[in-house]
Each structure stands twice: as C-alpha cells, then as structure tokens.
Structure 1
Amino acid sequence: MNGGKAKGIVVFSGGSAANNLVDVFKTVREHKRCPLDYVIPISDNGGSSSELIRVFGGPGIGDVRSRLVRLIPDDPEHDDSEKAALKVFFNHRLSKDRIQAKLEWFQIVEADHALWTNISTAKKELIRSILNLINFEILKRLRPSSTFDFSAASIGNLFLTGTNRNSARLFTGSFESAIYLLSSICSVPSHTSVLPAINTNFTHHISAGLANGVTITGQNSISHPSEVSAVEHPPVSQHDEVEHADRIEDANLPGSLPTLRKQYISFSKTHEEDLPARIERLWYINPYGQEIRLAANPRVLDALQEAEAIIYSIGSLYTSLIPSLILKGVGAALANPSIRYKILILNSTIDRETGPFASPFTALDFVAAIAKAGAESRGLPEAPRSEFKTYVTHVVHLQGPGTPRVDKDELSVLGIVPIKVYGRKEAHDAFVRYDEKALIQALEVTMGRRDPWAEKMRRNTFEG
C-alpha cells in the first residue's frame, strides 16, 4: 500500500523522441504532486553503445543516460552554471574522426578540456575517477584483433559503463547503482526516477518477425539498418562470417551471431529503407538467436503497482515501447483495473516501423500492438479486440499531414476515448508537432488535476 501517498505516473518511452516531452510530464507531475517514473528499454545496440557492448558487454545504456541528463533541473531564477555544464558534459560526443576522438578523450581524462569549466572540483574528481577507471579497462582489453573505437563516443555512456559492470568489472557492480550515482551528480529530483526495463549487467538483444516471414535481429537493424539481416539459424553461407567474428577477442561469446557483434557507430536516422512488410511480433533472443523470455525489473513492477496512470509516449513503437511491454510481469500489471488511465500519445508521423507498407499503421494498429505485447507478457498469443481497453483507455492524437489515421468511432466502440490535440507547425517542419500547453491540458483533464483552479485555467486546445 502507498500509505496515503499520491499514486504515480509511469511513462513508457525510448530516448530522443520522448525527451521532447519531458517538460510536459514534469508539469503534469507537479500539478498532481505525485511520483513520476520513466521506464526505458536496454536493447539498443546502435551508435557508440554498440562499441561499448562489443568490448564490455552489458546493457544498451544510451537511452537511460539521455533521459537522466535531460532531467537535470533548469532554474531560470538562478544562474546555475554547474548544472548547465554537467548537462553539456554528459551529453558530449567525441569527434567522429577516430584519431581526433582518442586525442579528445585523453584531454578529458587528464582534466585538460574546456568541458570541465564550471564543474566543481569535488564533482570533477569523482567523475574523473570513473572515467580513468574505464580508460584503464579499455587499455587492459587491447588486443591485436580488437581495439576500442572512440569515434562519436558519448561521455555519459562511458561514465555509466564505468560505474556498471560486466563479469567481474568496474566500479559498483550494479546498473541501478550506476544510475543512482549519475542521478545524484546531476541533481535529478527524488520524485522522478529512470528505471531500466530490465535490471541487468548483461546484453539483451531483440528480434522482429515480419509478415512476409523475414526475421530481423538487433534493434539497430530493425530501426536504422544498413541492410536487413535474416536470423533464425545462420546458413552455411554465413559460416565464414561466424569464424571471422570468433577470431576477434571481445565481450561476445564464441559462435554468437555476427550481426550482434558488429559496430554500428555510424548510421542515419533520416535516410531509412522501408521495411518490406509489417512487423508482426517482437521478442528477446540469446546471443545465438534463440528466443528467450525475460522478467521485468522488479522496480518497474513496483511502480506500476503504485500507479494511477500509464503513458505510452511518442517514439518508435517496436523498439522504444514494445521491448518493455513484453517482459514477464508487465502485461499483468498493465491489465490491473486499479490503473485508471492508460494513455497512448500517438506519434505525429509514421516511421520505418509503422509504415508505409500497403497501408500505414492507424491509431487502432498502435493500440493492437500494445495489447498484443501485454498479452504475450502474460503468456497469451493474442489480445482479442474486446480486451484492447484493458491496456489502452485513451488515445491522444494530432490531426494533419502525415499523422496516423484515427477512426474515432472505431476506438469508441472498443471503449477507448480518442482526444484530438491541436498542434503547431513551424515553417521548417513538414509535419505538425505537439504543442506543450495543449498536451498538458489534455493529460490533466484526462487524469484530473489536484489543483482546484484547474478548470478555470482550461483552454480550448483539444477535443475529447
């Protein structure tokens, strides 16, 4: 029981897209005076995270780091230069040039870099001790077949890796301790938590099955691929590739899938090939491509137990939301009728994972995917349409060029409330975007607001 404490809000999201709504969720939390928990997947194997996973193993930490740093509080009434400096420091990426990146890294660990300006001596030496530890571990792992590539490396990711562990390594031996330390350094408020979907010190990858029978393995290949890679069991033609990967000494087990061992430091989020067919299902795999079922972080289940509202935030449906929802324990928690509001904030556009195909995903397709994930978490193959409202009670959406189609009657018949929010369109934007004030109003009126003056402040910015 929560002992009279206000029931909280749990937000399921990935990294960069949902970061744009952090101020929205912060405002709603402040008005309701309740806890706020972000649930973040750890299956990302792209960007500089791919090199950390290759050399050290461990979970994909980039989205966790991104959210923690985004939560560093801004205080417009005070000139807090240290918090601003910490935000820049932990978000900083080294040069894309491999040689320049390594030189810049040495400048940072030797405290001879402009990034340290305005960071207090106590925090600087604590951060540096972790970075020097990860630097020492990188040097220990140097092999003729494998050297660490600092290209575009995130300083925050390196810091979290230094405080996390894989096998017998590094500082705290705990992913949650690493998050706690970075939260403390960055002054993230205690009422707001960032929870990895799985509390693990190991790497966990995902695969997606398409409607045409193709299986794609690895989050980067699903969301931002250079090529589509079929998994199942590697055919004989891939034998040489496996043998070549086994000759490289890194954190991967011998014989594991080469596509999970590659570097994906450079990829484009804007020039993506369309998927040949819809994604029908997503699951976790072991290093050899076999399906496994994993349990959710117990703290995630505790947060859901104490929640009044769930928000499925904007972002990639199958790589930002579904990896958290299919974990054991999550589906049953989502289906708990004590959670009154289960709100999907629909993306403002379709992406590689939801279109174009023969017909792009509609609002109902998004709801169906979430319901299917919740059912699979509970060991069920499907969720009948009559149970969709068990997982989603409201759909907040925009209307305009490129937005997913919303059939209000179709949703209403299923007991799901559609809420149209008026958005904004900047001159340089091709698509309509969510307006923060309108979205805050929609969420607060949907969930209720503890402030008795809320209704007097209401604006005509949404329909519901």
Structure 2
Amino acid sequence: MADGVLAPSPVQNSFVRSPFSHPFLFANFSVAAVVLPYWSAASTQYLRRSCVTMASTHCNSSPACSFFVPQSSLKPSQQPSLLVFSGGTAFNCVAEELKKVTTRVAHVLPVSDDGGSTAEIVRVVGGPAVGDIRSRCLRLSDESTSEAIAVRRLLGHRLPLDASDAKSEWYRIVEGEHFLWNGVSRPYGETIRAFLAYFQNQILRRTSDSFCFSNGSIGNFFFAGARLFFQSLDAAIFLFSRVSQIPTESLVLPVISTNDRLTLGCELWDGAIIRGQNEISHPTAGFVQTVNKDCSSTIALPSRIKRVFYVSSEGSNLLHEIFPEANASVLELLSTVDCIVYSMGSLFTSICPSLILPGIGETIASRSVPKVLLLNGSHDRETTGLSASGFVTAITDALNRTYGDPHKCLQNFPSDYINALLVPKDGQIPVDVGCLAAQGIFRVIMVDSINDPKVGTVFDPNSLINALINLIFHSVEEAMANFNSSEKES
C-alpha cells in the first residue's frame, strides 16, 4: 500500500482541463456518461489489489482521499494512457506489471547507449543503439503460451563472457542447432533465423572490423539485423514487437527516429566535457563486464553534471554539438496521453537525453495532466549529493534547454513540468519538502518499496502502479468538479 502527503495548490498544482479532451473517458464526446459514476461502477466490477491513501501535509498523514482502481479487464479504449520517459532497465519490472492494468502505455527510450553488446554492434555496423529498446520490448512481450515463452527466452539470451565460447554458441544458434530453438515453431524460427543470419552476413562483410560476441544479446543481434535489412529503426521495432507479441496498444518508441549513430556528451560544472554515455554513467577499464552503476563502485565525477547534449559521431571534431529532432510520434502522444511519467533510473544519461529535444518541453508545459517524477531509491555516479529538488531542477533545466543555445531555451517553471513526486519508502535521496514547495510541487507521495540486492531500495511495482493510476483518477475528479462548477455558473 502506498501512502504519503497531499497538499494541492488550487492554482499551481491542479490537473484541471476540459473533460472533452480526456480520450479514455469521453470517447463519444458526451457528458451524458457521467464520469464519477462511470468509474464507481467500473471500480465495483473490477476490484483492484490495493488503494492509495493520500493525506494533507498539515494533518500528519491523516487520510485525505482514496480511490479504487479498475483492472485491465476494461477495454483498451477505456484504460488510462501514459507516456513514460525511461531507460532500458530501471522501469522494466514496473512495465511488466503495468500492462496488467493498462496496455495503453508509450515507452519513450533514448538511442545513445554505447555500452555492452550494443557498443560492439554500433562500432562494427553503425546505427543507433538498440539495447534499451530491445530490453523494454522483451519485458512487454507475451508469455501466455509455451511458444511465446520460448521466443522470449531465445531473444533474451546472452552469450558467454568468454569470446571463444560466445562465438561458438552464436554459430550454433544461427545454424538452428541450439536448444534455445526448442518450442519455437517453424514459421517463427525461420523468421528469427533469417534476421540473425542477415546480421551475421553484415558483420562478415566488415572484414576490417572483427566482431566480438562476448556477452552479446541475441535480441540485440536480431534487432540489428532487422534494422539493417529494412534500413529503418521504426520498421525494426515494429517487427520485433510483432514477433514478441507486444499488445498493439503498447508502444516502444525511440525518442529520435533515426538510422544513424547518436553519441551523448555532458558538460560538468567545472567546464569539463565527457563524451559517451558509458563514460558518463559507468566507465569501465576497457574490457567487457557487467554494468554496475552503484556510485560506491565507480570513480566519482570530478564535478556535478551541468547538462547533457548530443555530439557528432563523424568527422574530426567529435565534440561538435548537434541538434537532432524529436520523434514526431512522441510529440503527438505527449499531446494526448492522460499522464506523463519521468521514470526512475539514470537521471542524466537515461531520462534527460529524451527531454532536451526541441518540442518536448513545449508540449509537456502545455498539458494539464498528471506529470509525475519517480524518485530514485539511491544515488548513482550521476546524482551523488542531489536531493529531490535537485532532481526536479535537472529535469526542468533539460526541458527548458537552459544551458544550451540561448535562442532555443525556454523559461518555464518546474511546476509546468512536474506536479507530483512519488518517493520510495526508505529511499536514500533526501526529500526536501520546503524546496519542492518553492518549486511549486506540493504533491509528494510515499510509495511502498522493496530491497533489491543488486541496486538497493526500489519501488514496489504494484504500489507504484496504483499510485500512478490514482493520480490520474484524482485529476479526473478535479476536472469534473471544475466542469460542474463552470456549468452551474453558466
């Protein structure tokens, strides 16, 4: 169960908008289907697992309001819609549970990762990073049949760390002789093998670059083969989504729709520039190893991060800043979804790369829906020393493009981008409520957490999902109250 504080400002923090703009409530453009009775009936029919209690900051967590959330038995058109900015790992466990409540979720991911097997693919055959997208697609994939489970197991498989063993296993997979093909029917098998073989053919053609299969992801290789074949990242995502049977309402979107390589850079407050997402987030000693973003196990940054930006991957000046355009589909969805979420995860290398693009900040600021920041449970190399308000400032600066081209920056307030903060209980990030209030953020909600032995304190997925859905329902109640009030006045 989640609980916390709720002290809404009637002006700065309301979720009021015209109910006619609410797609999952007013699909027929009719006020006759009254909102609150509708949701009460749905809530009675579809009982949820738990409810979220919100309380006022001025009454020592005494209950202020509670809501019951309908389950995914609702038709897709009746389910709330969300857009989540995230990286490839931190939100994964939540994504699997969230699809049980609503499949109308757009997962927006960066394509600038340059670590792990993704780095090797980009080094040899070029193109955008596909690792984060592949990771999220797998988490959303179907598990309702034995074949679906077999396909997921195949595409989720990683080769051994030893380069020789990895190469040997890879050839057994491509040739169809590996046990991972057990349970995969001939049509599926031939489709998947075709793109794995195409990827193999492409790396063999690059005779000057020997490909290392160590710790390689079969899903990444399939994804890269599809992208190279179609010469389209969007087409590769579509194919992967269909092969892994992702619900059609669930979208996995690159924040930049490109077939080119993208490189991330960052500027520190001491003026230093770091090139490459891996070097910013979790630098390695130059050999293949599993990723560990724990700030206690990596060398600290010499100064805090001021901003992130995209840099050229070609030519002699590799620190030359470039300005790619946001995926048009992302901008379109931002204009229509019922809730916008900034996920927990690597703040500067997973979340901010999606926020700094032109049009993203403008669109988010124009919306009057829940805009929710999920606070990390612990610090990493990128955020050491930051409080909750520091996370808000970083996101605001990214969306405003504060430290980039002065002709392209915005002047919006933090509350234009974030109007609710969800905090995992027992988390290590200081929640400075006074500073958050000064930023115009008054909804600070504590959510149940669990201890992950690998990363420490994380959100309990079910409690987090209930908190998110209840924020949407609360916004609906406010919208209806505002609508009814205006009706009476008129």
TM range, normalised to the smaller chain? Answer: 0.7 to 0.9
Does structure 2 conserve the Cα–Cα contact (< 8 Å) formed by 1:9 and 1:311? Answer: yes
Residue identity matched to 1:284: Y
Residue identity matched to 1:48: S
- Paired with 2:180 and 2:474, the residues of 1 have a C-alpha distance of 41
1:128 paired residue number: 193
- Paired with 1:426 and 1:176, the residues of 2 have a C-alpha distance of 36
User: Is residue 163 of structure 2 the alignment partner of residue 140 of structure 1?
Assistant: no
1:211 paired residue number: 269
2:380 paired residue number: 351
2:341 paired residue number: 311
Check 1:267–1:209 CA distance in 2 against 1; reply closer, same or farther (3 A cut): farther
Cα deviation for residue 298 of structure 1 reads 0.9
The CA RMSD over aligned residues, in Å, is: 2.4
Q: 1:220-369 maps to which residues of 2 (within 5 A)? A: 220-226=278-284, 265-266=288-289, 268-269=291-292, 270=294, 271-287=297-313, 288-338=318-368, 340-355=369-384, 360-369=385-394
1:95 paired residue number: 160
- Paired with 2:277 and 2:452, the residues of 1 have a C-alpha distance of 33
CA deviations over 1:400-429 (Å, ceiling 9, x no partner)? 2x5211122332343313333243444957
Check 1:73–1:404 CA distance in 2 against 1; reply closer, same or farther (3 A cut): same
User: Is residue 456 of structure 2 the alignment partner of residue 387 of structure 1?
Assistant: no
Q: 1:398-413 maps to which residues of 2 (within 5 A)? A: 398-400=424-426, 403-413=428-438
CA deviations over 1:225-284 (Å, ceiling 9, x no partner)? 137xxxxxxxxxxxxxxxxxxxxxxxxxxxxxxxxxxx7643541531111211001100
- Paired with 1:110 and 1:118, the residues of 2 have a C-alpha distance of 16
User: Is residue 143 of structure 2 the alignment partner of residue 74 of structure 1?
Assistant: yes
- Paired with 2:452 and 2:338, the residues of 1 have a C-alpha distance of 38
Does structure 2 conserve the Cα–Cα contact (< 8 Å) formed by 1:421 and 1:434? Answer: no
2:231 paired residue number: 173
- Paired with 2:470 and 2:450, the residues of 1 have a C-alpha distance of 24
> Normalised by the size of structure 2, how large is the TM-score?
0.76
Residue identity matched to 1:432: T
Residue identity matched to 2:275: T
Cα deviation for residue 379 of structure 1 reads 5.8
- Paired with 2:395 and 2:241, the residues of 1 have a C-alpha distance of 30
Does structure 1 conserve the Cα–Cα contact (< 8 Å) formed by 2:422 and 2:447? Answer: no
- What is the aligned length? 395
Residue identity matched to 1:39: V
Check 1:430–1:325 CA distance in 2 against 1; reply closer, same or farther (3 A cut): closer
- Paired with 2:439 and 2:414, the residues of 1 have a C-alpha distance of 7
Cα deviation for residue 18 of structure 1 reads 1.1
Does structure 1 conserve the Cα–Cα contact (< 8 Å) formed by 2:448 and 2:459? Answer: yes
Higher mean C-alpha displacement, 103-112 vs 423-432: 423-432
2:254 paired residue number: 196
Of structures 1 and 2, the one with the larger relative CO (CA 8 A, separation 6+) is: 2
2:461 paired residue number: 436
Check 1:440–1:274 CA distance in 2 against 1; reply closer, same or farther (3 A cut): same
> Among 158, 173, 178, which residue is 2:221 paired with?
158
Tell me the secondary structure at the aligned position of residue 90 of structure 2: helix
Does structure 1 conserve the Cα–Cα contact (< 8 Å) formed by 2:223 and 2:236? Answer: yes
Does structure 2 conserve the Cα–Cα contact (< 8 Å) formed by 1:98 and 1:149? Answer: yes
Check 1:344–1:109 CA distance in 2 against 1; reply closer, same or farther (3 A cut): same
- Paired with 1:299 and 1:404, the residues of 2 have a C-alpha distance of 33
Check 1:37–1:127 CA distance in 2 against 1; reply closer, same or farther (3 A cut): same
Check 1:264–1:295 CA distance in 2 against 1; reply closer, same or farther (3 A cut): farther
1:248 paired residue number: none
Residue identity matched to 2:370: Y
> Among 399, 408, 411, which residue is 1:374 paired with?
399
Residue identity matched to 1:443: L
Check 1:430–1:219 CA distance in 2 against 1; reply closer, same or farther (3 A cut): closer
Cα deviation for residue 433 of structure 1 reads 2.7
Cα deviation for residue 437 of structure 1 reads 3.0
Tell me the secondary structure at the aligned position of residue 17 of structure 1: coil
Residue identity matched to 2:444: I
Tell me the secondary structure at the aligned position of residue 213 of structure 1: coil
Tell me the secondary structure at the aligned position of residue 458 of structure 2: coil
- Paired with 2:346 and 2:431, the residues of 1 have a C-alpha distance of 18
Does structure 1 conserve the Cα–Cα contact (< 8 Å) formed by 2:424 and 2:449? Answer: no
Does structure 1 conserve the Cα–Cα contact (< 8 Å) formed by 2:199 and 2:221? Answer: yes
- Paired with 1:215 and 1:11, the residues of 2 have a C-alpha distance of 29
- Structure 1 runs, 4 residues or longer, greater than 4 Å off: 377-384, 425-430, 449-452
Does structure 2 conserve the Cα–Cα contact (< 8 Å) formed by 1:372 and 1:382? Answer: no
